[in-house]
Amino acid sequence: MRLLRTMTALLALTGAGAMGTTGTAGALDAPVGHAAEACSTAWGSGVKSAGEAQADPLTTITTRRGRCFDRMIFDTGGAKGDLRHYVGYVGTFRQDGSGDRIPVSGGAILQIFVSAPSYDSTTGKPSYDAKAGQPLPGVNLTGYRTFKDTRFGASFEGQTQIGLGVRARLPFRVLQSGDDLIVDVAHTW
């Protein structure tokens, strides 16, 4: 009987340990601000593109600091399916349409295209009031570990272009949550 109780207790402890491991692994993908034991950097630094859908106009771009990565969030008025995007490192940031060079500070430049215009296509009025070559309005990167600079490229033919200056060519991932496109750049390899 004692052996049976010992085995039962051991199985219960093993199960609790497994549940704790699952919670920790899930925390890696948890929203910014949740603790995690280790940071995943298995995202790679190659181009990431996907999606077929256009979105309603872009309304805001915000950033957040996390323990393992810095995050940029593109808020659209609505996406009908997987939001089309193209994200990759470039040697020089050039404005879509004109090809004009736009300087971006940092050790590497991540170019982000999201299929959401920064204007209302029916009225032509800006939905996200940014200026070509200028930092993103309302985005302050003071204290960020990876993000160093932002520049608005253009909103041309239904897509918006952003230049994101980062500390170095680091791993990144692209996610969609509802109508938001999210770009996370890891702090380290």
Question: How do residues 130-177 score in pLDDT, each as one tens digit?
Answer: 999 999 999 999 999 999 999 999 998 899 999 999 999 999 999 999
Give me 55's structure tokens. Answer: 């979105």
The predicted structure's pLDDT at residue 37: 56
Average per-residue pLDDT for the chain: 83
Picking from 33, 94, 69, the residue whose alpha carbon sits closest to that of residue 167 is 69
Q: Which residues contact 116 (CB under 8 A, 6 or more apart)?
A: 54, 55, 56, 57, 58, 74, 76, 77, 79, 83, 158, 159, 160, 181
Mean pLDDT of 99-124: 95
Calculate mean pLDDT across residues 112-139: 95
Q: By the 8 A CB rule, do 133 and 95 touch?
A: yes
Closest CA to 113 of 48, 189, 178: 48
3-state secondary structure string, 113-173?
Answer: EECCCCECCCCCCECCCCCCCCCCCCCCCCCCCCEEEEEEEEEECCEEEEEEEECCCCCEE
Average pLDDT rounded to a whole number, residues 86-105: 97
| pLDDT, position 115 | 93
CA angle 130, 162, 136 (to 5 degrees): 40
Beta bridge partners of 102: none
pTM given for the model: 0.80
pLDDT at 15 over 90: no
pLDDT of residue 188: 93
Task: Give CA–CA dist 96/110, Å, rounded.
Answer: 14
Could you read off the pLDDT of 49-81 as tens digits, one per residue? 999 888 889 999 999 999 999 999 999 978 778
* Tokens at 42, concatenated: 């298995």
